[in-house]
Amino acid sequence: MQETESQKLKKNKQERDLLCVVSDTFRVFARRSSMMLGSAWAFAAAVLAILIWILTGPTFHFSDTWQLIINTTTTIITFLMVFLIQNTQNRDAKAVHLKLDEMIRALKGARNQLVDLEDLSDEDLKKLEEQFQRLRKKAEYDGTHSRKVNSPASH
């Protein structure tokens, strides 16, 4: 029995809807988790858990199982945190890029070619960095550099 075009479209829409729901749920979970887990309270809870583990050492005669518990727990937590942190960092970086792109677009005289720099190769980024260094040195030489930054050691 062949699926009609309408059935295929409906199935694709349901799959996309499910993907969107999962993606949105993860985004919200990652954002909230990163805010909670990045707090002083979360750090204090982690320190407390480690202290409890250390204090229970003599009770369990510092056994292999006692050590395995902390190793397994920290490995699992670290593994899951990598995904939460990466998701949050990716979203934050994308938001910053979009804000900067909008500023470049809105400023008269700004080079619109600088929008989407993150898509350039490492070699192209290096060339652009060198170009900006030359511009900075030229501005310093010409005396047009408005804010000369002194190192803390020169004060």
CA distances from 12 to 7, 8, 69, 110 (A): 9, 6, 44, 42
Q: Which percentage of the chain shows pLDDT scores above 70?
A: 89
Q: Is there a contact between 57 and 64 (Cβ–Cβ < 8 Å)?
A: no
Closest CA to 36 of 1, 84, 76: 84
- What average pLDDT does the structure give for the chain? 84
H helices of the chain, in order, are 5-37, 40-55, 64-106, 122-142
**Between 116 and 135, whose confidence is greater?**
135
Structure confidence by residue, pLDDT tens digits, 55-90: 999 999 999 999 999 999 999 999 999 999 899 899
Percentage of residues of the chain with pLDDT beyond 90: 34
CB-based contact 31:86 (threshold 8 Å)? no
